[in-house]
Amino acid sequence: MDGNHRLMDVLNRDLQDAHGLSLAEYRILVLLSESPDGRLRMSDLADGVLSSRSRLTHQIRRMEDQGMVSRSACVEDGRGVLAILTDEGRRRHGEAAPTHVASVRRNLIDLLSKSQIKAMAQIFAKVEAAIGDR
């Protein structure tokens, strides 16, 4: 747990220092940028970032204030809310991605052998399969 906390802390700090983005904001930008039309239902986004809907709502509101996302009613059912990646959000994601990749490499990937990386991938695949939907 300590190692995970320290890793997440340094990844967050690198993004904050270089781009004024938290790791949580970066994760939201990644998920939205990977969706086909740059939009996701808030409930799906909450599942994707492993967050409560109320916590995500506050996070999205702050990101909306910075112009990175917007929100809209879901046309399909009228009850859901969509988070939509803006041009500013796309720009900030594009600027931050190389920093994040370099930080992950420096603080995790480059410290491990190929067999350790393979073992880690296998371990987390098993964990995800066992508890991913809970």
CATH number for 49: 1.10.10.10
Asked whether residue 64 is domain-assigned, the answer is: yes
Question: Is residue 6 a part of any domain in this protein?
Answer: no
Place of tokens 């904050």: 16
Does residue 84 sit within a domain? yes
**pLDDT class of 37 with cuts at 50, 70, 90:** very high
With a pLDDT cut of 90, the percent of the chain lying above it is: 77
Q: Is residue 121 part of a domain?
A: yes
- Residues 98-124 as b/e (b if ≥16 CB within 10 A, e otherwise) read ebbeebeeeeeeeeeeeeeeeeeeeee
User: Quick check: is 4 in a domain?
Assistant: no
Quote the domain boundaries for residue 91. Answer: 17-131
Q: What is the token pair recorded at 31?
A: 């998920």
Q: What are phi and psi of 20, to 5 degrees?
A: 65, 25
Cα–Cα distance, 65 to 87 (Å, whole number)? 14
Give the per-residue pLDDT at 115.
Answer: 98
Q: Domain for residue 10, yes or no?
A: no
Q: pLDDT, tens digit, for every residue of 50-93?
A: 777 888 899 999 999 999 999 998 877 767 899 999 999 999 99
Domain count, the chain: 1
